[in-house]
Amino acid sequence: MKVLSIANHKGGTGKTATARALGDYLSAAGYKVLMVDLDPQASLTLSCGYREQISPSMVDVMGGAKPGEKEISDIIKRLSNSLYLAPSNLDLAAVELSIASRLGREYILERALRDLEGFDLSIIDCPPSLSLLVVNAIVAADGILIPTQLMPVDITGVRRFMEITNEIRENLNTNAQILGIMPTFYDSRYNAHQAGLKAMRAADWPIIDVCIGRSVRVGEAAAKGESVLTYEPSNPQADNYKLLGKEIEKWLQKTN
């Protein structure tokens, strides 16, 4: 099983919408996909239609000062024949603090996913932070996708996030590869967006050749427990997420 972490320490970059859309696209393409909600805000869980707090959840897998009492296979929710969810809830916020005292705290998620069988891909939706939860997601990952808006402050944040990711790789012996940076909320009419893209390309950053634009339908889809791919398949952003899905599929085929 390959692991894809969708991460950026800034909020509002479209991480959850991307995870949800990729789950729909790749499961429809024939892959058995597990989406892991590692965000205490539980946005991915909500966007899968779960409105009430779910227990057991990733809280029971990650544990605290002591190991969790559940295996990840014990908490999985089936969404369709090929798409599954490991849900989160607000109690995961306390996990960030309590696992700090654990030996091997950076490898908790990697160990939880290591022995999970029957899946082709796990997609991890990370919280908007540089917490131990995000470190766990990076250590567990084979590939990392970084969604970002294109204003100067966002690009500065991406630079720092890539530096930290590389530090984690070097110091924790992980082979996680940055698959690319994906522009989100993109509008070609904005000079700042065009300048941001140009600056990242000039710096030779790994830019994914797909830009996700702004659409209220993406947010509406999440409120309905869907991705935009199923909520409004004709939406231009649904087409863009399909293009992104094809890029991830190429990576899966290459690495397998």
pLDDT at site 43: 96
Q: What is the pLDDT of residue 72?
A: 97
pLDDT of 229 > 90? The answer is yes
User: What is the model's pLDDT at position 97?
Assistant: 85
Q: What is the pLDDT of residue 163?
A: 95
* Mean pLDDT of the region 73-95: 95
Packing angle between helix 132-140 and helix 152-172, nearest 10 degrees? 70
* Mean pLDDT, rounded, of the chain: 95
Specify the 3-state DSSP secondary structure of 86: strand
User: What pLDDT is stored for residue 234 in this prediction?
Assistant: 96
Mean pLDDT value of segment 41-45: 96
How many Å is the Cα radius of gyration of the chain? 17
Does the pLDDT at position 173 exceed 80? no
| Coil/strand/helix, residue 3 | strand
Under the banding of pLDDT at 50, 70 and 90, the label for residue 68 is very high
Q: Provide the residue type at 193 as one letter.
A: H
Q: Tens digit of pLDDT for each residue in 44-62?
A: 999 999 998 999 999 999 9
**Burial profile 145-171: b = 16 or more Cβ within 10 angstroms, e = fewer:** bbbbbbeeebbebbeebbeebeebbee
| Tens-place pLDDT, residues 109-159 | 999 999 899 999 999 999 998 899 999 999 999 999 999 999 999 999 999
- Residue 256 predicted with pLDDT over 90: no
Q: What's the gap between Cα 75 and its chain centre?
A: 19
**185-225 pLDDT, tens per residue?**
999 899 999 999 999 999 999 999 999 999 999 999 999 99
What local confidence, expressed as pLDDT, does residue 175 receive? 85
Q: What is the pLDDT of residue 195?
A: 93
